[in-house]
């Protein structure tokens, strides 16, 4: 029989499966092209040519040893390339000694949490949040503490943060560009967070780590420059992946970068490498490590995502929805037209629109649209949103 904990977690996330099954049902009845599925953050675009070419070259070539076990931190040349790229972007001096290659950001987050958490340590998660964080924290005996961002703009709220820090706080997870809102946390917000954390570290005599989950960092619009977490927070880990930036989610490739200023940096690196091994990842997949090393500065389909964002966002605003215009990632997080977001998502299904209720991200009353779908789906969905808004208005 299942463990009690997994059984409880399955129950808690059963609505996700129910939604998926509902989508399958609608597709079977109406056909794929009549169902507008905005539920999954699974990019519909292909990886860039450079990635495909590198993969072909590697597969056709005969590099001795490419398929063997390696250092659990990953190939040294790949880690060097990532360190150099991050140094260029952040201005922070980094070497391969600060990088661990991981099985995506999900693998990286689990490795960091495993490395730093003692039982019952608290990890702050900013809402709205990527729901998997709660399970990852639980995986390693931690306790999630939810702190709301500012409802006006979904930026971190330093006062809320301060009010939730206790002597057991071990870490704060931040995610910008954010899933589900698409919001980019401003430099000012992050610096204010850093001030709060520093004061609390002094008060309690503890280190509070920042885990910056950045899989969308290459998907930013209007030329926005992302604030550099490694510069702002001394005790920080950047966790990143190529799932979204290079459209490679199935290949499970990402990395952890530790801030060179991190206290006990070498010891922590030893812990990360040990946990990468003993969580059973052993090392990140070999061939795809080599492949991404040649495409580090690239981003797949940013202009396509921006076009899709603009079409959908403008249409929703014209229909009277309220929504913050996202500056990154590929999500919109509008307010539902009735207070009950689950009921709203149910009504949307009548129009073959599949949305995720905000409740799933710890933020009821809203819904998430993942617009990493085809332009045809976006354009086909516009009359359905209009019909939905008309029905809701007629009931108001
Ligand atoms: N973090 C966030 C915010 C995500 O949205 C996702 C995937 O959707 C992940 C982490 C996991 O990404 P990966 O495929 O790199 O494990």
Query: What percent of the chain is predicted at pLDDT more than 70?
Result: 100
DSSP code, position 168: T
Domain locations in the chain?
A: 4-47+300-395, 49-292
Give the whole-angstrom CA distance, residue 48 versus residue 254: 17
Q: Is the pLDDT of residue 18 over 80?
A: no
- Check residue 10 and give its pLDDT: 87
Q: Measured in angstroms, how far is the CA atom of residue 109 from the centroid of ligand 1?
A: 9
Query: What percent of the chain is predicted at pLDDT more than 90?
Result: 86
The ligand 1 atom nearest the CA atom of 178: 3
Q: Measured in angstroms, how far is the CA atom of residue 202 from the centroid of ligand 1?
A: 32
Q: 265 is written with which tokens?
A: 């940096």
Q: 20 is written with which tokens?
A: 């998926």
Give the whole-angstrom CA distance, residue 130 versus residue 173: 10
Q: Measured in angstroms, how far is the CA atom of residue 329 from the centroid of ligand 1?
A: 11
Ligand 1 pocket member 105 (CB < 6 A): yes
* Burial grade of 396 (CB within 10 A; 0-12, 13-18, 19 or more): exposed
Q: Is the pLDDT of residue 41 over 90?
A: no
Handedness of CA 101, 360, 180, 150 (dihedral sign): negative
- Check residue 24 and give its pLDDT: 85
Q: 191 is written with which tokens?
A: 């610096």
Q: Is the pLDDT of residue 298 over 90?
A: no
- Check residue 297 and give its pLDDT: 84
Tell me the pLDDT band of 310, cut-offs 50, 70 and 90.
very high
Ligand 1 pocket member 177 (CB < 6 A): no
Determine how many CB atoms are found less than 10 A away from the CB of residue 220: 22
Question: pLDDT of 159-179, one tens digit each?
Answer: 999 999 999 999 999 999 999
Degrees to nearest 5, angle at CA 302 with 253 and 216: 45
Ligand 1 pocket member 243 (CB < 6 A): yes
Q: Is the pLDDT of residue 17 over 80?
A: no
Q: Phi/psi zone of residue 91: left (φ > 0), alpha (ψ -120 to 50 degrees), beta?
A: left
Mean pLDDT of the chain: 95
Give the whole-angstrom CA distance, residue 333 versus residue 171: 26
- Check residue 63 and give its pLDDT: 84
The ligand 1 atom nearest the CA atom of 103: 16
- Check residue 178 and give its pLDDT: 98
User: What is 49-292's CATH number, 3.90.1150.10, 3.60.20.10, 3.40.640.10, 3.40.50.300?
Assistant: 3.40.640.10
104-116 vs 265-278: helix crossing angle, rounded to 10: 120
Mutate to test the pocket of ligand 1, among 43, 44, 104, 240 (most ligand atoms within 8 A of CB): 104
- Check residue 344 and give its pLDDT: 95
Ligand 1 pocket member 130 (CB < 6 A): yes
Across 222-234, average pLDDT = 92
φ/ψ of 361, rounded to 5, equals -115, 15
Terminal Cα-to-Cα distance of the chain (whole angstroms): 48
- Check residue 42 and give its pLDDT: 87
Going by CATH, does the domain composed of 4-47+300-395 fall within 3.90.1150.10? Answer: yes
For ligand 1, atom 12, the nearest C-alpha belongs to 105
Quote the pTM value: 0.96
Give the whole-angstrom CA distance, residue 319 versus residue 296: 39
Q: Measured in angstroms, how far is the CA atom of residue 56 from the centroid of ligand 1?
A: 26
The ligand 1 atom nearest the CA atom of 179: 3
The ligand 1 atom nearest the CA atom of 107: 16
Give the whole-angstrom CA distance, residue 183 versus residue 326: 5
Question: pLDDT of 339-396, one tens digit each?
Answer: 999 999 999 999 999 999 999 999 999 999 999 999 999 999 999 999 999 998 887 7
Across 58-71, average pLDDT = 91
Question: pLDDT of 95-147, one tens digit each?
Answer: 999 999 999 999 999 999 999 999 999 999 999 999 999 999 999 999 999 99
Mutate to test the pocket of ligand 1, among 103, 130, 212, 256 (most ligand atoms within 8 A of CB): 130
Q: Is the pLDDT of residue 181 over 80?
A: yes
- Check residue 54 and give its pLDDT: 94
């Amino acid at each position: 029989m299942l463990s009690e904990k997994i059984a409880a977690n399955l129950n808690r996330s059963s609505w996700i499966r129910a939604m998926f099954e509902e989508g399958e049902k609608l597709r079977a009845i109406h056909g794929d092209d009549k169902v507008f599925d905005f539920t999954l953050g699974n990019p519909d675009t292909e990886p860039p040519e450079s990635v495909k070419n590198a993969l072909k070259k590697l597969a056709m070539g005969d590099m001795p040893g490419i398929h063997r076990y390696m250092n659990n931190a990953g190939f040294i040349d790949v880690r060097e390339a990532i360190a150099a790229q991050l140094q260029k972007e952040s201005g922070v001096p980094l070497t391969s000694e600060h990088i661990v290659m991981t099985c995506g950001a999900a693998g990286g987050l689990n490795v960091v949490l495993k490395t730093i958490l003692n039982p019952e340590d608290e990890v702050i998660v900013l809402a709205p949040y990527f729901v998997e964080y709660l399970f990852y924290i639980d995986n390693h005996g931690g306790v999630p503490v939810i702190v709301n961002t500012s409802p006006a703009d979904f930026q971190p709220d330093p006062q809320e943060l301060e009010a939730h820090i206790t002597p057991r706080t071990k870490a704060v997870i931040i995610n910008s560009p954010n899933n589900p809102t698409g919001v980019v946390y401003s430099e000012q917000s992050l610096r204010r967070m850093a001030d709060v954390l520093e004061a609390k570290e002094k008060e309690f005599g503890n280190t509070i780590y920042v885990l910056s989950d950045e899989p969308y960092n290459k998907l930013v619009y209007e030329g926005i420059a992302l604030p550099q977490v490694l510069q702002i927070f001394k005790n920080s880990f950047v966790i990143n992946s190529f799932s979204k930036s290079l459209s490679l989610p199935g290949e499970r490739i990402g990395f952890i970068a530790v801030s060179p200023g991190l206290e006990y940096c070498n010891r922590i690196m030893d812990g990360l490498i040990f946990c990468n091994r003993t969580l059973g990842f052993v090392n990140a997949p070999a061939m795809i490590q080599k492949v991404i090393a040649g495409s580090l500065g690239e981003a797949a389909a940013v202009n396509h995502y921006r076009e899709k964002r603009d079409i959908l966002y403008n249409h929703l605003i014209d229909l009277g929805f309220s929504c913050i215009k996202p500056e990154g990632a590929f999500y919109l997080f509008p307010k539902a037209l009735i207070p009950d977001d689950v009921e709203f998502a149910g009504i949307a299904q009548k129009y073959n629109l599949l949305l995720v209720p905000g409740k799933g991200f710890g933020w009821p009353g809203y819904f998430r649209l993942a617009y990493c779908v085809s332009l045809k789906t976006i354009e086909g969905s516009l009359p359905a949103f209009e019909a939905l808004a008309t029905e809701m208005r007629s009931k108001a």
